[in-house]
Structure 1
């Protein structure tokens, strides 16, 4: 009944494993169950017959191994397996027979281990290799059992002899340290290989990592970290393969499911035997293996702490609840790599990444982060995880693909040492050594496997490596190890042979020691000069220490500090241990403080190391920087990318365009472009570097066509030559005008002043003064108010002048027209009437200006007649609208001119009309010249304003000179003529009664009135022959 229950339980567990792990594990466990039954039968036969009997389908992998791996215990007897072949073999001829026992053929196919193998994956049942040197005559492999005692270094397999006995490879071994609590260990003692499941021994990340775990356990137990409790170990080799590592990890759960493999052994051999329960697992090294193992251990709630697995995926505690690690996540490593790329000034790089969870997740983060920093990926290529699976041509093709983008000199490689080593070999085969500069991940950082023999190819590499310090005392411990004093490490013999290149006496043959011709003397001594120590062993030690402190804290709380194990910790519960594990905080054997972050990861601290030539033919990895708390510190002066080149190589697709140039991108390339110049008045768009944009009017590009700069404002400044000329002329005119006004005021009652019509003369002089004053408003910096004053003043001043002239000429014309038609005196010829008429004429201009201001308010504006001009002007000057101010004055000029023509034949005594006519003719000439000048200077507003100013001043000057200079001449030079008689010639001062007519009488009265311009003066007709004014 008990056996039945155990079998049912085992089948249930297998079903669970099938859901979580690969199909290979399921098939292998099923095979082990069948084999266990057969083994039980064999044990019964041994008890009754005491001889070896034939049995089928023997698979030594699932057997219970005790410390020396291949030695098998069956009911207290030591039994060994080895292979015997019937065919001729390089080591000797095979024949039937062997060491104590009968050989039984086991069907051997080259793909035996791969019967359940998926494509693109390594062999799962790694210890049933299809070794090319092992098959039998008919494709059969012969397994033999032998009673024997082991030799140094763990399990032994008979050495090849003339009888043809050869070992099975790989031999499943385990390093066992007895203790009250057991920690599992999963190390990559061997590397991957194509022809066999496990490759050669790995001295750094394998043997040294394993010995670091053992050394740390020794220290924990020596210190009595857990009172009266020793911590032991059960360490296996995963050969750096995920499927094989998962198969090995099955041993860790056997204690939790009561030893599936030994069901019959438990009943038939030793009723008291019980397999130790694994409290926690240290490992694995690679991320892909850790993911597989974490899925399995999670089912049985066994905490796992990895020391080299860096994949960001493992930070997901929803999936990997029981997984922790002492090394930081690649999430931070990716950030450090991107910072290095930026520091080197690279914007166009290639990426080679391992086709595993480690590489793929890192690439995804790299791709995202690089794009955020505008760094383009030229080539992205995958590396097959198992270097043996990929042909040499696959690595050659990767290098050839890199060469298709020759501008991408920088290459990031995210992979493991074995794959990267093959890439470097391909670089050498393609004769492109020195073409590329590498940035490496921690997976191959400072690994001799990569650099040995590939020094020239690896030279100049910058690599990111989690920051670690040496484990204190470990080097001395390791250097003092020998095969004789290190029996607990079953792989140490292989390490010894690999290190000294000799065959250790009585050691089993392997695919890697069979060619050694020298026999080890067993007195060899490890020396520091012959060894390269792994730089990251601190993480292995911290992983073991984390378990140690977690168990100590757990023991203090659950056992109350009492020595030894209490029932609460016998066995330990994984879920409880995990809580204490995540809270562990301690000073490790390296002297650094350690604690897990919220994701169960180690602190993010990295060293930046560099592979350089330190002497001829001598290369070395040196530290050139660090990455801590998100900040990169890189000592560029210590970096030497080539022997004679200290500057980083250029890794850009296109060099930056010159200042002011825009880009035209190459189709499909985000970092490749052609540069083109923007045109004269364009700059490169600040928002889109692929376009040029025109500078707005009033601005011009700077020298580099990067920004539009404001053109300095230009206007008719008072200090300019044109303004000074215009103001000088106007000032002179103003002085003359004031002089005339002063003379008229002084001689206000003289006949010449009275005869010229004093009121209109003063109005006319005021208008002339306003015309000269317009110039000053035109040379002031334009402003909204100034523009309004200019618009009003220029038209108004002209209107005042020509309204007064029109009123005067109209009065004269009406007087003489009336004298020819009737004796009646014309109306509205008095001075008051003349002022009213003049005011009405001026009011029309005021009305026009008012409407104009409402419809189109005057304001200052920038005017751009050309692309290089920025003129500050009043809006009326930019088009013909300013002519509105002069339309009405010009109309008055035309009317005045007409009246001047009509009054040109007035009597000599009224020759002022002649001067008015001359004034109007000259004014017309001036304005006829002004109009084409005004419109012809549209692009030169300053000249246009100067022209207008001079036109107005000239018109005022003509009026002043033509109308007032004759009067000033009489007043100042010929004062004797400033009398009434001079104004009234003799022929008009007496009227013959007998010869006079009515017309003559009216004319005489009008003449007097015209001469005096005073409606209060009357003609008194006496008996005399003179007309005497009542007032003079």
Structure 2
């Protein structure tokens, strides 16, 4: 992926008659003398030592390239716009080397030197500086075959991700270790492509995870993304897209900052920001890309919650009064701040007479606006002559301010990482080394790849208390400060630390945030809401809106019997079998158990009717017992009448077994009692009808012998046998498939219907069928005997009663089958009561009428006269 840019760079350099690296050529006149084919003009500084380490820093922000021509040799580039922070980072490296050389416990017999160059924030300059570091920059030296030890064993830098990608791609071929202090592109963690790259700053992958921690904390799921069009921005944006999707967030829009600061493209980005419903915008960019956008933010009066990446969260270019109304409240991810004891005194001690090199002279000229004679070409101002004795402590407070060291602290750690690796290398015991034949490296033939071996396993703690070690990809332990931009009384802004993101902490404690210290740039002074759709409350589920990101959704209520007890649930969960959802659909509650109870109106009505019928039957029985010697009672066998009244009373009372909570004994007894009581009643009516017919036939000469078959004993026996058959049916039913209490949800899912399962439908049908058979026979016989003389005749009343009985039970079957739950019991009770009242009224009401209201008709003479009439 990165071969093409390098080849293009190589082609550009060669076409300009300037080589990619200072290649050594042997002179034909002096075969032992090596000469550089070309020497680059680089701004830098150096210090001699037994071992040299290199450094690449951004000391100037701009570089002027001469026009290219294929006929003449191009001029050297010229760098300008001095960067004080970049120079401070370079001086931190110089301080770290000085401190290491003065440490008796670290490399006590070796003096470290350095060679540092300015990359001018341009890839061409950075690549030239890197090749100068690994190949040397002397014009000529004596060496057979132009081969030998490289001038530097390792390089601190480059701060830019794009520069590091290109340089490390080449240096990795020769296993030259490179420890960057500011390159964060996650692509550099690829050990296969960049085997010698390390860094003391976490990669963008960790930075993105730190931002995701903040978004999760404030529940910002609908965020905008803006990134620069370079390696840093593109890879950070890719990681952000992946990680925000993992935690359930969405990118409302993703815009790329144009490289050439095209105002038309920038205004399009502002328009997208203004039209979007997102209130939070994450920006991965450097200040040079971002400044034109912020200028347009001021012009368009755009207020949003900005989330700054580490590339611009600490940039002083944005902490100005003009941007205060729009950028205060910004939350940023910043490199870990550190403290370096003695650095301030060292920075103030830097003087051009002590360090005769171009980088320090450029710094001095920038600080005091002077120039050195006769080096007027290096002067940055047409002012007075520099004496070299100016007082640095009064020149620029930002230069000597060491209270907020971030990139410089990473430089400090990078230098010490190389020093500790070198110390471990020199501490190798001969014969126990890690190299071929258990050998160790020596100071005189040390190779970069040998230092690389020890750098991979280096582990030490800085004086500030931070542990420095590298994982298998060359990445350092991830720890960030969280900054919040506050407005100051003088109209400027200041970044204050409000929290820490530390990946080394256990889950749940990675983010530590002091919300009381955070300033919010909104009227409410509270964190903004930034969601595409509000969270779905309990009892609802998320349904994604078609054609929109997953963060845009509707909230649909759960169906009956389903709940969600968490917000933003993707699905509803069905309640257990005996539970049902409450009205809010956020918890399961026990289902209502339904049965025909004595407390409800229907149960009370049926109970009253049942008791009333039983009382009426008892009263009629008492009347008949009291008037048992009267002709009306004695006619047609009074004993059967008593038996019918007794069975009707039992029929009325057995209806009560169908009311109340079903239990095993009530379920088994209700149908058995009902079936036996009705068979007793109907069989008695059947025998009474047969007696009527037998008596009538006995009154005729040809039927004198018919009555002997219908004596009292035969009547009782017939009733007993017919009833016994029903008893047998009930016993078989109860023994084979007994009715049992059953909780059913078949009729209504929200309720548990507590009913008596019949057990065997065939048993229940046989019981009803037997009753129906007896009733049908009784009806038929009574209908045939309806015209017999009134003296002996009850056939008309029996016919009418059986007609009512059969009509009720014929209507009962479909009504019972179609009625759910307790209403099936109510239908059966109604059938029992209706048929019982029908029998009672049709058979006994006329007799009671005569007995109570017309006693004069309750005589044998009156009955006989009716017969004659």
For the aligned pair, the TM-score class normalised by the smaller chain equals 0.7 to 0.9
CA distance, structure 1, for counterparts of residue 194 and residue 147 of structure 2: 33
1:185 pairs with 55, 73, 82, which one?
55
Judging changes above 3 Å, is the alpha-carbon distance between structure 1 residues 529 and 410 closer, same or farther for their aligned structure 2 residues?
same
CA distance, structure 2, for counterparts of residue 734 and residue 712 of structure 1: 33
SS in 1 for 2:468: strand
Number of the residue aligned with 2:110: 229
Contact 2:226 2:256 (C-alpha < 8 Å) held by counterparts: yes
Number of the residue aligned with 1:242: 123
C-alpha displacement at 1:296, in angstroms? Answer: 1.7
Per-residue Cα deviation, 1:882-939 (whole angstroms, up to 9, x for no partner): 99865654554454345445545666764xx43x643653564577578779978977
Contact 2:24 2:146 (C-alpha < 8 Å) held by counterparts: no
Alignment of 1:154-233 (within 5 A): 171-192=41-62, 200-201=80-81, 203-224=83-104, 225-233=106-114
CA distance, structure 1, for counterparts of residue 863 and residue 611 of structure 2: 43
SS in 1 for 2:371: coil
SS in 1 for 2:163: helix
Contact 1:347 1:651 (C-alpha < 8 Å) held by counterparts: yes
Question: Is residue 2:9 matched to residue 1:24?
Answer: yes
- Give the RMSD, CA atoms, in angstroms: 5.2
2:336 pairs with 451, 467, 477, which one?
467
Question: Is residue 2:829 matched to residue 1:949?
Answer: yes
Contact 1:286 1:308 (C-alpha < 8 Å) held by counterparts: yes
C-alpha displacement at 1:627, in angstroms? Answer: 0.8
2:305 pairs with 437, 450, 453, which one?
437
SS in 2 for 1:422: helix
Contact 1:609 1:621 (C-alpha < 8 Å) held by counterparts: yes
Question: Is residue 2:655 matched to residue 1:775?
Answer: yes
Per-residue Cα deviation, 1:609-651 (whole angstroms, up to 9, x for no partner): 1112132513100001111135112222222231755212332
Alignment of 1:35-50 (within 5 A): none
1:896 pairs with 778, 784, 788, which one?
778
C-alpha displacement at 1:400, in angstroms? Answer: 3.4
Number of the residue aligned with 1:402: 273
SS in 1 for 2:685: helix
CA distance, structure 2, for counterparts of residue 882 and residue 42 of structure 1: 123
Judge which range, 539-548 or 549-558, deviates more. Answer: 549-558
Number of the residue aligned with 1:803: 683
SS in 1 for 2:393: coil
2:598 pairs with 697, 701, 718, which one?
718
Per-residue Cα deviation, 1:865-892 (whole angstroms, up to 9, x for no partner): 7898775445789x9x999865654554
C-alpha displacement at 1:818, in angstroms? Answer: 4.7
Number of the residue aligned with 1:641: 520
CA distance, structure 1, for counterparts of residue 561 and residue 622 of structure 2: 62
Number of the residue aligned with 1:814: 694
SS in 2 for 1:569: coil
Judging changes above 3 Å, is the alpha-carbon distance between structure 1 residues 42 and 379 closer, same or farther for their aligned structure 2 residues?
farther
Judging changes above 3 Å, is the alpha-carbon distance between structure 1 residues 357 and 843 closer, same or farther for their aligned structure 2 residues?
farther
SS in 2 for 1:557: coil
Judge which range, 711-720 or 523-532, deviates more. Answer: 523-532
Contact 2:808 2:834 (C-alpha < 8 Å) held by counterparts: no
Number of the residue aligned with 1:477: 346
TM-score (norm 1): 0.68
C-alpha displacement at 1:307, in angstroms? Answer: 1.3
Contact 2:539 2:565 (C-alpha < 8 Å) held by counterparts: no
Number of the residue aligned with 2:162: 288
SS in 1 for 2:183: coil
C-alpha displacement at 1:517, in angstroms? Answer: 6.0
1:448 pairs with 306, 316, 332, which one?
316
The structure with more radius of gyration: 1
Judge which range, 619-628 or 843-852, deviates more. Answer: 843-852
2:424 pairs with 527, 544, 553, which one?
553
SS in 1 for 2:476: coil
Contact 1:469 1:536 (C-alpha < 8 Å) held by counterparts: no
Number of the residue aligned with 1:999: none
CA distance, structure 2, for counterparts of residue 343 and residue 595 of structure 1: 29
Number of the residue aligned with 1:541: 412
CA distance, structure 2, for counterparts of residue 34 and residue 907 of structure 1: 139
Number of the residue aligned with 1:380: 254
Judging changes above 3 Å, is the alpha-carbon distance between structure 1 residues 587 and 438 closer, same or farther for their aligned structure 2 residues?
same
Question: Is residue 2:290 matched to residue 1:420?
Answer: yes
Judging changes above 3 Å, is the alpha-carbon distance between structure 1 residues 383 and 962 closer, same or farther for their aligned structure 2 residues?
closer
Number of the residue aligned with 2:437: none
Judging changes above 3 Å, is the alpha-carbon distance between structure 1 residues 367 and 847 closer, same or farther for their aligned structure 2 residues?
farther
Judging changes above 3 Å, is the alpha-carbon distance between structure 1 residues 684 and 408 closer, same or farther for their aligned structure 2 residues?
farther
TM-score (norm 2): 0.79
CA distance, structure 2, for counterparts of residue 473 and residue 643 of structure 1: 42
Number of the residue aligned with 2:153: 279
Question: Is residue 2:790 matched to residue 1:918?
Answer: no
Contact 1:414 1:441 (C-alpha < 8 Å) held by counterparts: yes
C-alpha displacement at 1:406, in angstroms? Answer: 2.2
SS in 1 for 2:332: strand
Contact 1:189 1:237 (C-alpha < 8 Å) held by counterparts: yes
SS in 2 for 1:438: strand
Contact 2:20 2:131 (C-alpha < 8 Å) held by counterparts: no
SS in 2 for 1:476: helix
Number of the residue aligned with 1:623: 497
C-alpha displacement at 1:212, in angstroms? Answer: 0.4
Contact 2:459 2:467 (C-alpha < 8 Å) held by counterparts: yes
Contact 2:26 2:145 (C-alpha < 8 Å) held by counterparts: no
SS in 2 for 1:716: coil
SS in 2 for 1:363: helix
Alignment of 1:516-531 (within 5 A): 523-527=390-394, 529-531=397-399
Per-residue Cα deviation, 1:19-76 (whole angstroms, up to 9, x for no partner): 99434236646945799999999999xxxxxxxxxxxxxxx996457xxxxxxxxxxx
SS in 1 for 2:709: coil
Judging changes above 3 Å, is the alpha-carbon distance between structure 1 residues 969 and 415 closer, same or farther for their aligned structure 2 residues?
closer
CA distance, structure 2, for counterparts of residue 919 and residue 312 of structure 1: 101
Q: Which runs of 5+ in 2 are unaligned?
A: 67-76, 433-439
Q: How many aligned residue pairs are there?
A: 823
SS in 1 for 2:141: helix
CA distance, structure 2, for counterparts of residue 680 and residue 328 of structure 1: 48
Judging changes above 3 Å, is the alpha-carbon distance between structure 1 residues 273 and 378 closer, same or farther for their aligned structure 2 residues?
closer
CA distance, structure 1, for counterparts of residue 554 and residue 431 of structure 2: 76
Contact 2:372 2:379 (C-alpha < 8 Å) held by counterparts: no
CA distance, structure 2, for counterparts of residue 491 and residue 572 of structure 1: 29
C-alpha displacement at 1:542, in angstroms? Answer: 0.9
CA distance, structure 2, for counterparts of residue 194 and residue 784 of structure 1: 101
CA distance, structure 1, for counterparts of residue 153 and residue 659 of structure 2: 99
Contact 1:336 1:464 (C-alpha < 8 Å) held by counterparts: yes
Judging changes above 3 Å, is the alpha-carbon distance between structure 1 residues 573 and 940 closer, same or farther for their aligned structure 2 residues?
closer
SS in 2 for 1:828: helix
Judging changes above 3 Å, is the alpha-carbon distance between structure 1 residues 748 and 929 closer, same or farther for their aligned structure 2 residues?
closer
C-alpha displacement at 1:475, in angstroms? Answer: 2.0
Judging changes above 3 Å, is the alpha-carbon distance between structure 1 residues 660 and 397 closer, same or farther for their aligned structure 2 residues?
same
SS in 2 for 1:810: helix
CA distance, structure 2, for counterparts of residue 594 and residue 433 of structure 1: 41
CA distance, structure 2, for counterparts of residue 542 and residue 676 of structure 1: 52
C-alpha displacement at 1:415, in angstroms? Answer: 2.1
Number of the residue aligned with 2:200: 326
Contact 2:563 2:581 (C-alpha < 8 Å) held by counterparts: no
Per-residue Cα deviation, 1:341-377 (whole angstroms, up to 9, x for no partner): 1222222112122333332222222111111222111
Number of the residue aligned with 2:534: 655
CA distance, structure 2, for counterparts of residue 303 and residue 458 of structure 1: 39
Number of the residue aligned with 1:151: none
Judging changes above 3 Å, is the alpha-carbon distance between structure 1 residues 699 and 267 closer, same or farther for their aligned structure 2 residues?
closer
SS in 2 for 1:443: coil
C-alpha displacement at 1:793, in angstroms? Answer: 4.0
Question: Is residue 2:549 matched to residue 1:670?
Answer: yes
